């Protein structure tokens, strides 16, 4: 069964450093998402992406964050200058359709980001 994959599974970085989290969505999916879960808290939406542009972003997704689909398979989340409060589990998700035609989003296994 096709699945969303994410790399790395765990990333440790120093405050102020740039990190790139990588995701490979399911191959025929067109809608892509990033969510974040700070330890012990609920999962929060960050950004949705379709047709090579951001569809929607939350207030968490400030100028430090960016997303990109550099080729036909990868979907990346970049944090330009990490802060301690960016430590969280980051989930990538993809969906075959969005909006009215949408069904479930398929989540990847997550990348645990630790900022020291």
Q: How far is the CB of 43 from other proteins (least distance, A)?
A: 4
Closer residue to other proteins in complex, CB, 84/103: 103
Closer residue to other proteins in complex, CB, 9/70: 9
Q: How far is the CB of 50 from other proteins (least distance, A)?
A: 8
Burial class, 28, CB count within 10 angstroms (exposed 0-12 / middle 13-18 / buried 19+):
exposed
Nearest to 65 by CA among 53, 51, 76, 74: 76
Token digits for 64? 């430090």
Closer residue to other proteins in complex, CB, 88/115: 88
Residue ranges binding other proteins (CB under 8 A): 31, 33, 35, 37, 41-45, 48, 55-56, 58, 89, 91, 93, 95, 98-100, 102-107, 109-110, 112
Q: How many CA atoms lie within 13 A of 46 on its CB side?
A: 25
């Amino acid at each position: 069964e096709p699945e969303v994959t994410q790399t790395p599974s765990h990333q440790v970085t120093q405050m102020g450093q740039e990190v790139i989290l990588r995701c490979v969505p399911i191959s025929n999916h067109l809608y892509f998402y990033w969510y974040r879960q700070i330890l012990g808290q609920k999962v929060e939406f960050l950004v949705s992406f379709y047709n090579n542009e951001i569809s929607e972003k939350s207030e968490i997704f400030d100028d430090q964050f960016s997303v990109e689909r550099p080729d036909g398979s990868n979907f990346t989340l970049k944090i330009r200058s990490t802060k301690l409060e960016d430590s969280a589990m980051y989930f990538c998700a993809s969906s075959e359709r969005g909006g009215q035609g949408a069904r479930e989003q398929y989540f990847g296994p997550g990348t645990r980001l630790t900022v020291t």
